[in-house]
Amino acid sequence: MKSHGTWIAGAIVALALGTAAAACSNKAERAARTQASESLKASSSVRELMKQRGLVEADVEAALRTYVPGGKQDDYLIFASGGQSGQVLVIGVPSMRLLKVIAVFSPEPWQGYAYGGESDKILAGGNQNGRAITWADVHHPNLSEANGEYDGKFLFVNDKANARVAVIDLTDFATKQIVANPLVASDHGGAFVDQNSRYVIETSQYPAPLGREYAPISEYKTRYRGLAMFWRFDRQQGRIDPAQSFAIELPPYTQDLADAGKLVSDGWAFINSFNTEMAVGGTLEGKPPIESGASQNDMDYLHVINWRRAEDLVNAGRAPVVHGVRVLPLAVAAEEGVLTLIGEPKSPHGCDVTPDGTAIVVGGKLDTHATIYDFAKIKSLIDSKRYQGKDDYGVPILPFKDAIRGQAELGLGPLHTVFDDRGNAYTSLFIESKVAKWSVKEMKVLEKLSVHYNIGHILSAEGDTVSPDGKYVVAMNKMSLDRFTGVGPLFPQNFQLVDIAGQRMRLLYDMPIGIGEPHYSQMIKTDKLKPIKAYKPGENPYTGQRDPNAVTGGQERILRNGNQVEVFMTAVRSHFTPDRIELEEGDQVTLHITNLEQADDQTHGFTINMYNVNLSLEPGKHENVKFTADMPGVYPMYCTEFCSALHLEMAGYMLVKPKAKGQP
Ligand code: RUQ
Ligand code: CUA
């Protein structure tokens, strides 16, 4: 091994010369050499720094590979589930800098999300049984695809706890829609898209009577059901169209992760499952917990769904409407070749279609293997109706041995699998705390990398497309134990960036996640994203149009009609017009407020103290706020974003005059 000094100097020289020497003119090369010799001078102090900070060569190399200086930008963005926070995290790669927390299922004050403005309606779209839900267990963000490639246009996420799906528009990185599934009590296999984002797939997790009706647990096998929901995505509108959506009734097995087919397997979807034993617990009565009841059988079932066939049957009127959704009955799905089952070794998890669409990888969880199902074999077994039998619900079961390409022995607790551009797969090994890199063709492990600790999920660059990039994998670890400074008994999760471009995997960076337990993530090349920097003047972000009540400078006014008060307001550095609103107790107030700014990053905030009104007004944005002035008093309203030197002066008053005594 070279000494630190030679190594670091060498690394910096290589870094400085790298591509320049290979490709460029003499001038560029000279410049690079000058830079490099200056770096050589710097190297002795770098050596000193390394010593002081106790860093080894590998640390410095990792730093050189991940450090992105201020003003330079990242190559990729990760969209990670924010777990129980109900939000989505946007993280730059390779820097692992957190760029944004997109408000999705939970109110978020900075973005003024669900604090009096129109985003209240977005959140209300996710009400279940008419009841507001202000958190979510966010699991799987999925980017919209065109021909199997991320197109950088939309992001979909599911809420496992409350069976909801959200649509985020990547032009402004804002949530535009939440749809609540009226049939199931939880979901997990979502939000996955087919290769052209025709459907956003959401499959249930814990079986329950459809429509969330009551049925005693003794009727589990007869009344409880699973479900695969196909939310139709209208790309033009950028919204899910519930009226064009449909569902397929499934047996009460606990459906788990899902994935959509691609290329040869386009038109199909796959869901792994557990608890095909249909254990229902009952620990207080001395029955085994679900945990052990669900681990009796050697095999659970991979669900194979022909959704194109289902779509045809639904359009042919074979799906009665249940709670507003066209649901293809289980018996029809079983008879018509829509649903087929294949055995899956012990308590599987993960369900990942290979980039070429020819195989489906399912992790063993309690096994050391991942099973590689072969789509062509599955297809020919289904076409020739070569079943090994049927389950209690009449669903055909294909012979396991004939449906698989093989099994790869990976290690303890294989869960999720992602792919690179060289035919390799990377599987998270939860129990072993390792990433297993293996060849899909050989079904053999090539290398294992220790991660810290208990990796649940995993992602790779452009990993769920038909052409992954290679380059990076991120290990999403459930436990961080000794990796960070202690912050109390609730430890952060740990994202570890792994360089996979070379022969061997290299750990580059630990990023603590202190907001929830992320599940799935996707990573997209930044040049595919075209976010706006300002809204068009007076644009309502929820319609994408100029708001009919948008206000232009000079048109500000207050209109009163009885107790109906309408305020047309503008915000611009550093004042609101009007800056005084005089109301009577009980007035019904509508506030129309437009940020007149068009310059980048000139956001104003707007709050009315004590009324729980709080908005973020990005340049051009228009918001509408409705409230009742039911608390008499004097309320400052002010800008909450430090927008200019006179930001503190960007304020005004709302005065609510109490009703005279005896007045109704
Ligand atoms: S995925 S249990 Cu493995 Cu939703 Cu997290
Ligand atoms: Cu506008 Cu501070």
Tell me if residue 299 falls in helix, strand or coil. Answer: strand
Report which of 165, 236, 150 is spatially closest to residue 203, judged by C-alpha positions.
165
What residues form DSSP beta bridges with 215? none
Ligand at shortest distance from the CA of 650: 2
For ligand 2, what atom is nearest to the CA of residue 571? 1
CB-neighbour burial class of residue 78 (10 A; exposed 0-12, middle 13-18, buried 19+): buried
CA of 258 to the centre of ligand 2 (A): 46
Which region among 329-333, 367-371, 447-451 has the lowest average model confidence (pLDDT)?
A: 367-371
> CA-to-CA distance for 64 and 59, rounded, in angstroms?
9
DSSP state of 621: B
> CA-to-CA distance for 537 and 170, rounded, in angstroms?
19
Residue with tokens 């045809």: 312
CB-neighbour burial class of residue 48 (10 A; exposed 0-12, middle 13-18, buried 19+): exposed
pLDDT exceeding 70 applies to what percent of the chain? 94
- 3-state class percentages of the chain: helix first, strand second, coil last, to nearest 5: 20, 40, 40
Give yes or no for residue 347 having a pLDDT over 70. Answer: yes
519 touches ligand 1 (CB under 6 Å): yes
For ligand 2, what atom is nearest to the CA of residue 574? 1
Ligand at shortest distance from the CA of 80: 1
Nearest-CA residue for ligand 1 atom 1 is: 519
* One-letter identity of residue 414: P
650 touches ligand 2 (CB under 6 Å): yes
CB atoms within 10 A of CB 16: 20
Q: What is the pLDDT of residues 393-433, one digit of tens each?
A: 999 999 999 999 999 999 999 999 999 999 999 999 999 99
Q: Give yes or no for a cis peptide into 574 (omega within 30° of 0).
A: yes
For ligand 2, what atom is nearest to the CA of residue 604? 1
Nearest-CA residue for ligand 1 atom 5 is: 519
Residues 540, 545, 548, 551: is their CA dihedral positive or negative?
positive
Ligand at shortest distance from the CA of 576: 2
pLDDT band at residue 604, thresholds of 50, 70 and 90? Answer: very high
Give yes or no for residue 509 having a pLDDT over 50. Answer: yes
Nearest-CA residue for ligand 2 atom 1 is: 604
Mutate to test the pocket of ligand 1, among 84, 137, 139, 430 (most ligand atoms within 8 A of CB): 139
456 touches ligand 1 (CB under 6 Å): yes
CA of 415 to the centre of ligand 1 (A): 9
Give yes or no for residue 664 having a pLDDT over 50. Answer: yes
**Contact criterion met (CB below 8 Å) for 493 and 517:** yes
Ligand at shortest distance from the CA of 606: 2
C-alpha separations of 465 from 54, 178, 188, 232, 272 in Å: 41, 25, 21, 20, 20
For ligand 1, what atom is nearest to the CA of residue 350? 3
Give yes or no for residue 240 having a pLDDT over 90. Answer: yes
CA of 112 to the centre of ligand 2 (A): 14
Rg of the chain over all Cα atoms, to the nearest angstrom? 28
139 touches ligand 1 (CB under 6 Å): yes
Q: Which residues contact 347 (CB under 8 A, 6 or more apart)?
A: 274, 294, 295, 300, 364, 365, 366, 367
Residue 123 tokens, joined: 């959140």
Residue with tokens 């800098």: 97
For ligand 2, what atom is nearest to the CA of residue 639? 2
Q: Which residues contact 409 (CB under 8 A, 6 or more apart)?
A: 368, 369, 445
What residues form DSSP beta bridges with 606? 615
User: What is the overall mean pLDDT for the chain?
Assistant: 94
> CA-to-CA distance for 576 and 605, rounded, in angstroms?
11
> CA-to-CA distance for 413 and 427, rounded, in angstroms?
10
Q: What is the pLDDT of residues 17-52, one digit of tens each?
A: 333 333 445 566 666 666 666 665 667 899 999 999
Residue 432 tokens, joined: 């072993």
Residue 131 tokens, joined: 């009841």
Residue with tokens 């999403």: 476
Give yes or no for residue 352 having a pLDDT over 90. Answer: yes
Report which of 176, 160, 155 is spatially closest to residue 89, judged by C-alpha positions.
155
CA of 551 to the centre of ligand 1 (A): 46
Residue 334 tokens, joined: 């079983």
> CA-to-CA distance for 348 and 170, rounded, in angstroms?
33
> CA-to-CA distance for 457 and 429, rounded, in angstroms?
9
CB atoms within 10 A of CB 198: 21
In this prediction the pTM is 0.93
C-alpha separations of 552 from 200, 526, 541, 599 in Å: 39, 35, 17, 16
Q: What is the pLDDT of residues 465-493, one digit of tens each?
A: 999 999 999 999 999 999 999 999 999 99
Give yes or no for residue 551 having a pLDDT over 80. Answer: yes
365 touches ligand 1 (CB under 6 Å): no
> CA-to-CA distance for 539 and 594, rounded, in angstroms?
8
Report which of 618, 614, 593 is spatially closest to residue 603, judged by C-alpha positions.
618
> CA-to-CA distance for 417 and 125, rounded, in angstroms?
33
Is beta strand 325-328 parallel, antiparallel or unpaired with respect to 246-250?
parallel
What's the angle, vertex CA 100, arms to CA 96 and CA 102, rounded to 5? 130
Kindly list the strands in the beta sheet with 339-345, ordered across the sheet, starting from the edge strand earlier in the chain: 254-260, 268-274, 299-306, 339-345, 396-398, 389-390
Report which of 434, 555, 605 is spatially closest to residue 505, judged by C-alpha positions.
434
Q: What is the pLDDT of residues 97-154, one digit of tens each?
A: 999 999 999 999 999 999 999 999 999 999 999 999 999 999 999 999 999 999 999 9
CA of 267 to the centre of ligand 1 (A): 24
> CA-to-CA distance for 228 and 90, rounded, in angstroms?
28
Buried b (16+ CB within 10 A) or exposed e, 119-136: beebbebbebeeeebebb
Q: What is the pLDDT of residues 290-301, one digit of tens each?
A: 888 888 888 999
CA of 543 to the centre of ligand 2 (A): 25
Report which of 640, 634, 637 is spatially closest to residue 652, judged by C-alpha positions.
637
CA of 520 to the centre of ligand 1 (A): 7
596 touches ligand 2 (CB under 6 Å): no
Report which of 248, 302, 235, 292 is spatially closest to residue 272, judged by C-alpha positions.
302
Ligand at shortest distance from the CA of 255: 1
As a whole number of Å, the end-to-end CA separation of the chain is: 88
pLDDT score, position 12? 46
For ligand 2, what atom is nearest to the CA of residue 640? 2
**Contact criterion met (CB below 8 Å) for 539 and 547:** yes
Quick one: average pLDDT of 204-215? 97
> CA-to-CA distance for 408 and 457, rounded, in angstroms?
19
For ligand 1, what atom is nearest to the CA of residue 416? 3
Nearest-CA residue for ligand 1 atom 4 is: 139
